[in-house]
Each structure stands twice: as C-alpha cells, then as structure tokens.
Amino acid sequence: MKALSGIRRQKSSAQLLTAALLAATTLLSTSCATAQQASPSTTTSQPKPKPAEVLALLTKVNDHWQATHPAQVRSFWDHAAYQTGNMAAYAVTKNDKYRQYAEDWAVFNNWQGATSTDKANWKYKYGETPEYVLFGDWQICFQTYVDLYKLKPEPIRIARAREVMEYEMSTPQNDYWWWADGLYMVMPVMTKLYGVTKNPQYLAKLHEYFGYANSIMYDPETGLYYRDAKYVYPQHKSANGLKDFWARGDGWVFAGLARVLAELPAADPHRGEYLSKYQGLAAALQKAQQPEGYWTRSLLDPAHAPGPETSGTAFNTYAYLWGINHGVLDKKTYLPTAMKGWQYLTTTAVQPDGTVGYVQPIGEKAIPGQVVDKNSTANFGVGAFLLAASEMYHFTKK
C-alpha cells in the first residue's frame, strides 16, 4: 500500500506539473514581461500563489538554466550553491533530470571539492587551487553529495567529504569560518554528515566554529553579520558613514541557519542558540526590506548602492518561508515580508525566458555605481531563487 501511495503521489505531482506548464507559463511570461524592470511594483500584498503556478515558474527557471549550462563544471562554491537549489527543486518536483544533472556534476568532480592529497599542505584561507581543501568554498559541494548519497547510499559519494571534514575536525584550529558566506557553505555540511554518520563531533565542531564566526562578524546592536572582520564598523563605513552590512552576506547566514535547523537534532544542546541568531536575523532583515520587496546591497544604507538585488532577496525569502512553514517564525509577523520578497522575485527578478536577473556579480561587498540589472544573472542567484520557490511551494500546500 505504501508503494502504491507513493506511485499515486508521483503521478499526481507529474499531472499537476504538466497541467501547470501548459496553463500557467503564458500567464507567468506575461507577468514577467510587463513588470517594471528598474522600479519594481510597490504592491505589498498579494494572494497566496497556487501550487501549480509555483511549480511552473520553478520548472521554467531551472529548465532554462540547465538547457543553457552544462553540468560538467568545477565544484567551487558558485556552482555548488546552485546545486543546493537544484536539489531543493528535485525534492518538490521529483523531476529526475534535476537529480541526474546534480549527479553528472558530482561524477565529473569525482565527488570531491579541492583535490590535493597532501594533507600537510591543505589550506583554508581564500584560494581556488587544489591545496585549498579546508576552505569552505570547496566544501559546500559536500551538501549535494550527501543529498545524493541519501538517495543512493554508495560510500564513494561521501568518502572525500568525510575524509576532509574529519581531518579538519582533528586539528586544533577553530577559525575556519572567517567570512559570512562560509556559514552557508559549511554549516549545513556538518548537520548533513552528522545525519548519515551519527558522529557527534560534527555537531560539537559546528558549534565551536560558529562561535568563532560570531566573535568576529556578529553585530549585537543590529542582529546582523558583517561580511568579514575587515568590514566591522567603525574601521569600515558605508558611503554615508553607516554600518555596512552586505545583503548577500546576511542572506548567506540567514539561509544557512535555516538549513542547519532543518537537520539539527531537536535535542541538540545548542539548538536554542542557532534559533536565536536565526530569529534575530529575521527581525533585523525585516526592518531593512525596501517597500518594493527587495533588499539593497548595503542593507542599512540603501543609497550606497541603490536598486534591486536578487541573490540576497531570494535567500532571505527562502529563510522566512522556511521558518513560517516550520513554526519557528510567527506567520502574522513575517508572512508579509516573505510575500513582498516573492512578489519582487516573480514580477521583477525572473525574466520572460526564465532568466533570473538583478543578481549582483561575484564579490564581497556593495559597490557604489556597479551595474546590476535585468541581464545580471549567476548560478548562485538561480540556486537561491530555486530554494525560495521550493519553500513557497511547501507553503502553498499547507
């Protein structure tokens, strides 16, 4: 009976997706085409989307990305961040080509991040060459490898992840997560590997490394995170003399904490601490949201680099929806924030052909004068949108 039920659910999901693609794509394309490209709608409320509409848009975006970008690319952070969204899309659509795309990428990279085998030379400051095995930008790929392992538990899929992270945890250093992005890149690796190994050291080191990150990047006055220690106020200020919090940086942290809480055991002794930081970010980011639904690149100084930015907005929208869906954020308080973010994403960020626009290019700060427009897209921005869309789909099903 369980197998039959599963078949019925998959059949129902497939029928829903087919109908959605036939009936909703024209409507969605028209909506995207007529939206103001530089000045998003200021509407702050909208009806709850229909599941079919969300699935149709998610599918349109991911199909467009995969049709125009081969899976055979390196396992560095930007591609790996896309794959976190791709796996979320697979989870809600059960579209096997999404799983296959992720697996083709993993196989191309031999289920590895950085490839050096000389542990004595492994490094963890910034670097894109093989010896930077301990640098989190080469470890985010392990999230997708674990997800694929759970679908088909072949040891090779997580062997390198375990080798790298268990070596890292054996060292006396605790300053591995020295930049905000790293909290998204690696915190969920720890909870995911704990889930498949039950090795308690993953959770102990998660807390230890998170404590170091908080000691250098967390601002208790605002509840926000600086991108890294060199941006701490007052040694660094925004163009107008304010604290300069990078939107995508705080989006990385907010989304990363949601992903940690999703897999952290309920009885973990530090769960309350992660939840407190997550809820603090929810409150702080709500204050910084623009009326049009997006977050500007410098959160507290919109004039520093004005205009829409999609990656931070999508990560935030995902994290708000996750909290609402799991009962850790008050729906009455935060649903309007999530819905304004979704409105921006669906009427301004997503273009008629499924491109996700207004994504700030790879960087680490808000840059005055940098052009970010409808043609500005990137793999990690698409991944962030897929996370938000997947969580919105879960919301519509409630």
Query: What does the pLDDT look like over 337-357, one tens digit per residue?
Result: 999 999 999 999 999 999 999
Kindly report the average pLDDT of the chain as a whole number. Answer: 92
Domain boundaries, the chain: 2-396
pLDDT at 12 exceeding the cut of 50? no
Residue 3: its pLDDT value, please? 39
Average pLDDT over residues 165-191: 98
Q: What is the pLDDT of residues 59-74, one digit of tens each?
A: 999 999 999 999 999 9
Residue 45: its pLDDT value, please? 60
**Look-up of token digits 């897209």:** 377
More confident residue, 45 or 228: 228
User: What is the Cα 395 distance to its own chain's centre?
Assistant: 17
What percent of the chain stands above pLDDT 70? 89
Name the fold adopted by 2-396.
Answer: Glycosyltransferase (1.50.10)
Angle (CA) 280-283-287 rounded to 5° is 140
Confidence band of 46 (pLDDT split at 50, 70, 90): confident
Question: Distance of CA 143 to CAs 100, 106, 166, 177, 251, Å?
Answer: 16, 11, 15, 16, 18
Residue 5: its pLDDT value, please? 40
Q: Catalytic annotation on 219? A: no
* Torsion-angle region of 296 (φ positive above 0: left; ψ -120 to 50: alpha; else: beta): beta
Residue 226: its pLDDT value, please? 98
pLDDT at 149 exceeding the cut of 60? yes
> Is the entire prediction scored with pTM above 0.85?
yes
Confidence band of 153 (pLDDT split at 50, 70, 90): very high
- 95-127 burial, b at 16+ Cβ within 10 Å, e below that, comes to beebbebbbebbeebebbbbebeeeeebebeee
Task: Give the active site residue among 78, 96, 137, 181.
Answer: 181
Q: What is the pLDDT of residues 70-107, one digit of tens each?
A: 999 999 999 999 999 999 999 999 999 999 999 999 99
